Amino acid sequence: MKLTLKIWREGGMYASGKLETYKVEADEHMSFLEMLDVLNQQLIEEKKDPVAFDHDCREGICGSCSMVINGQPHGPQKGTTACQLHMRSYKNGDTITIEPFRAKSFPVIKDLVVDRSAFDRIIQAGGYVSVNTGQAPDGNAIPIEGDTAGKAFDAATCIGCGACVAACPNGSAMLFTSAKVAHLGLLPQGKVEHEARSQKMVAQMDKEGFGMCSNVGACEAECPKEISLENIARLNRSYIASVFSSE
């Protein structure tokens, strides 16, 4: 199939950028990133600068393939990362616009690559369980009710891609933060630090410049792992409780 690509090209955080148009031929069985590989090979052969984009596992696990495709983070398929999106979702002659995630807290490094280290700092603020060093405890030592374990596992599927931030009109990171708080706080091992964790991670999220959550719901709709908004409600409850208990 023959496609027209309009791709955002930008030199870096303080450089101006613009959409540039390219023509490429792709097979319907290619993934979206393989199609970009074809384009980059074409550009390299023409002695031009290839398009910079993030990728690693290409299996929908690492969350690094962050880009906005025709106005949607990760493209049109629900519950799918950009690397798992295939060209059979498009038709011959289509025009596809590809841009980086747009958020104040995700500055553009180059082209489609953004700096998502703000997420790392939110995790560093409290996304862990403190334990004494020594031999690892038996994983089955503490019985956990099945429904609770299921909710914790569902929250833990968050890959930290940032699609929730890109989709939110406020640039909020509440879905990401709430998922990271929930998957630890729901389990007995994480309950000891749950209130402190909620306060620390929310404080760091605000410090990073992410916007406030206004319950638009776009984050859940665009999340490739379909993280539930229930986690945001759960974080709000635990955060308010932690504030009152600390006074």
Domain with CATH 3.10.20.30 in the chain: 2-110
Residue 80: CB partners within 8 Å, gap ≥ 6?
Answer: 60, 74, 224
Cα angle: 67, vertex 80, 119; to 5 degrees = 55
Q: Six-digit token pair at 109?
A: 């490094």
pLDDT number for residue 110? 94
Concatenated DSSP letters of 8-70: EEE-STTS-EEEEEEEEE--TTSBHHHHHHHHHHHHHHTT-PPPP---S-SSSSS-----EET
8 bridge partner residues: 19
pLDDT number for residue 33? 97
pLDDT number for residue 220? 97
pLDDT number for residue 175? 98
Query: Is residue 109 within a helix (H) or strand (E), and if so which, with residue range?
Result: strand 108-110
Concatenated DSSP letters of 116-142: -HHHHHHHHHH-S----SSSPPPTTSS
pLDDT number for residue 245? 75
Q: At what angle do helices 174-185 and 146-156 cross, to 10 degrees?
A: 140
Q: How far apart are CA 160 and CA 224, in angstroms?
A: 10
Task: Write out the chain's pLDDT in tens, 247 residues.
Answer: 999 999 999 986 667 899 999 999 999 999 999 999 999 999 999 999 999 999 999 999 999 999 999 999 999 999 999 999 999 999 999 999 999 999 999 999 999 999 999 999 999 999 999 877 677 777 678 888 999 999 999 999 999 999 999 999 999 999 999 999 999 999 998 999 999 999 999 999 999 999 999 999 999 999 999 999 999 999 999 999 888 876 5
pLDDT number for residue 14? 65
pLDDT number for residue 132? 75
pLDDT number for residue 13? 64
Q: How far apart are CA 21 and CA 14, in angstroms?
A: 22
Q: What is the pLDDT of residues 54-89, one digit of tens each?
A: 999 999 999 999 999 999 999 999 999 999 999 999
pLDDT number for residue 138? 76
110 bridge partner residues: 113
CATH topology of domain 2-110: Ubiquitin-like (UB roll) (3.10.20)
CATH class of 117-246: mainly alpha
Query: Is residue 113 within a helix (H) or strand (E), and if so which, with residue range?
Result: strand 113-114
pLDDT number for residue 189? 87
Cα atoms in the 13 Å half-sphere on the side-chain side of 225: 21
pLDDT number for residue 182? 95
Q: How far apart are CA 120 and CA 126, in angstroms?
A: 11
Domain with CATH 1.10.1060.10 in the chain: 117-246
pLDDT number for residue 50? 96
